[in-house]
Chain A
């Protein structure tokens, strides 16, 4: 089974985003960037499907292709995925911050070319917080989708996915090929070892241009401004529980 994993380069999850003074966006100059944390989980699961870790049979995945759409430096993100165990990478170079619809259309073109049996991807990018591309890719391909995966079992030509939903857990079986988006508790991603980082340097990354795919990536949304949310300021410290209760009563919330 061939697995495609789209990975995005985003602001590191430990960094608090700052809005630019001119309200045109978020300041990313000199900010630490990393692989979107959910995408790390997707790469880890793909590698486990190949290695036969946990409940997966060894060789469930035979080839793992990682793809990123973004700036030249997104190659570092792809290298990280290769060091974790992916086999080869594709970078679709774009300096523009493409919208989910455009990203989904480009990924569809990659799927048409690569013909994977499974697309494993993050449920959400932590910069745009869209939670959209996986569902959109599935729609464009007319494939079934299983989002917010907390557990994945491959067998009988299906992906059986336990989804983290409001109210608890829901298990669905999607006929392959399918798109699965991953949630936080699917696994804990590994750190790449030094030898694997060295090995990853020799793995292939094909660099493509958006124009190579001939899809319409025009923006549909115009960002009028990006502003800072109202700030919450620290309140007071109370000495003990009794003072806390009396303050809460005064505030009318008890």
Chain B
């Protein structure tokens, strides 16, 4: 049995979501290939070839696959699919976008967001905002799976696989128009060891920046937000942590002025240590917090900055 992992990268480096997906793939089979799609992605392919356990890297290069359009991924992967028993990708917005499309083309049931590989045909995935875990056994000969990166350790960097070119597919009916990416020197939410996350309590975009950024800088942390904070325009959409945003599991998650709705908890309750700062002692966030500080963030955050030295 052979497994194809579709790499997540930013055009220059392979994201560690790929390494984590390789770990899930290796639980299925020892024959794991990685497919890199992109324009000018040779360096990414070379880096993917170093991931421990990878048999071979396939590189599909071209303008058509420069922006991860699902239709182009479909056209690239379908001709390769016969050689694989399973196709895995991280459950990023890209993976979520193309994986079900591929599955439908292959007439298989996609298995979204797995957190455990029980055996080559049996997987565990969260449902109902993580309030239940479903163990499913697939009857399909070929499997199409997205992997929740926070649930798997990253594969190492001891490999030396070969890199082969494959044809890149087109997306004839979809055109890339533009993108607006959030630029930041801070770690990415998915990769950060510490996350400070702000909620509706911050009250304005200016206050969000003024309170969260110095704290994040001091801790070397990434910044997250609740849906309410994103909806209100305090933070970009990409910061949203939760059931329908990003799922994170840092060593330390500090929630500031966040109530702890089911949908928010779904995105952060697997963090190692959770801290909540909230002025309402009955806020549900305290039910999952290891350390709770019942206080107004306006005084608590400056005091925290001072205590951190």
Is A206 in contact with chain B by the CB < 8 A criterion?
Answer: no
Taking the closest CB of chain A, its distance from the CB of B45, in whole angstroms, is 21
Instruction: Tell whether, in the assembled complex, residue B304 and residue A166 are in contact, meaning their CB atoms are under 8 Å apart.
Output: no
B112, B180, B262, B275: the one within 8 Å of A132 (CB): B112
Is B42 in contact with chain A by the CB < 8 A criterion?
Answer: no
B128, B182, B289: the one within 8 Å of A26 (CB): B128
Cα of A87 to Cα of B26 in the assembled complex, Å: 51
* Residues in chain B near residue A146, CB distance under 8 A: 174
The secondary structure that dominates the B interface is mixed
* Residues in chain A near residue B104, CB distance under 8 A: 101, 104, 135-137, 139-140
Cα of A253 to Cα of B274 in the assembled complex, Å: 10
By size class, the interface of chain B is: 35 or more
Cα of A144 to Cα of B132 in the assembled complex, Å: 33
Interface of chain B residues 159 through 173 with chain A (CB within 8 A): 171, 173
Among B33-41, B54-62, B79-87, B135-143, the stretch in contact with A: B135-143
Known: A168-B179, A226-B134, A238-B292. Contact between A130 and B110, CB under 8 A? yes
- Interface centre among B102, B126, B175, by most chain A C-beta atoms within 10 angstroms, is B175
* Residues in chain B near residue A165, CB distance under 8 A: 93-94, 238
Is A191 in contact with chain B by the CB < 8 A criterion?
Answer: no
* Residues in chain B near residue A99, CB distance under 8 A: 109
* Residues in chain A near residue B174, CB distance under 8 A: 144-146, 172-175
Instruction: Tell whether, in the assembled complex, residue A138 and residue B101 are in contact, meaning their CB atoms are under 8 Å apart.
Output: yes
Instruction: Tell whether, in the assembled complex, residue B128 and residue A11 are in contact, meaning their CB atoms are under 8 Å apart.
Output: yes
Cα of A38 to Cα of B109 in the assembled complex, Å: 22
B108, B128, B238, B290: the one within 8 Å of A166 (CB): B238
* Residues in chain A near residue B139, CB distance under 8 A: 219-222
B67, B173, B246, B274: the one within 8 Å of A143 (CB): B173
Instruction: Tell whether, in the assembled complex, residue B304 and residue A244 are in contact, meaning their CB atoms are under 8 Å apart.
Output: yes
Is A29 in contact with chain B by the CB < 8 A criterion?
Answer: no
- Interface centre among A104, A123, A126, A139, by most chain B C-beta atoms within 10 angstroms, is A139
* Residues in chain A near residue B96, CB distance under 8 A: 131, 135, 147
Instruction: Tell whether, in the assembled complex, residue B173 and residue A174 are in contact, meaning their CB atoms are under 8 Å apart.
Output: yes
Instruction: Tell whether, in the assembled complex, residue A220 and residue B140 are in contact, meaning their CB atoms are under 8 Å apart.
Output: yes
Cα of A145 to Cα of B104 in the assembled complex, Å: 13
Among A43-51, A66-74, A194-202, A229-237, the stretch in contact with B: A229-237
Instruction: Tell whether, in the assembled complex, residue B71 and residue A144 are in contact, meaning their CB atoms are under 8 Å apart.
Output: yes
Q: Which positions in A face B, CB cutoff 8 Å?
A: 11, 13-14, 16-19, 26, 38, 99-101, 104, 123-124, 126-140, 143-148, 150, 160, 163-175, 178, 183-185, 219-229, 232, 234-238, 240-242, 244-245, 247-248, 251, 253-254
User: What are 23 pairs between A and B in contact, CB < 8 Å?
Assistant: A17-B127, A26-B127, A26-B128, A129-B128, A139-B102, A143-B173, A145-B101, A165-B238, A166-B94, A183-B237, A185-B230, A185-B231, A221-B138, A222-B139, A223-B134, A226-B127, A232-B269, A235-B274, A238-B291, A240-B303, A244-B304, A245-B308, A253-B251
- 11 new A-B contacts, CB < 8 A, other than A167-B182, A222-B137, are A16-B131, A129-B243, A145-B71, A148-B97, A164-B237, A166-B93, A168-B236, A168-B237, A219-B109, A227-B133, A248-B273
Q: Which positions in B face A, CB cutoff 8 Å?
A: 10, 67, 69-71, 74, 92-94, 96-105, 107-113, 122, 125-140, 171, 173-182, 190, 194, 219, 227, 230-231, 236-238, 243-244, 246, 251-252, 262-263, 269, 272-275, 281, 286-295, 300, 303-304, 306-308
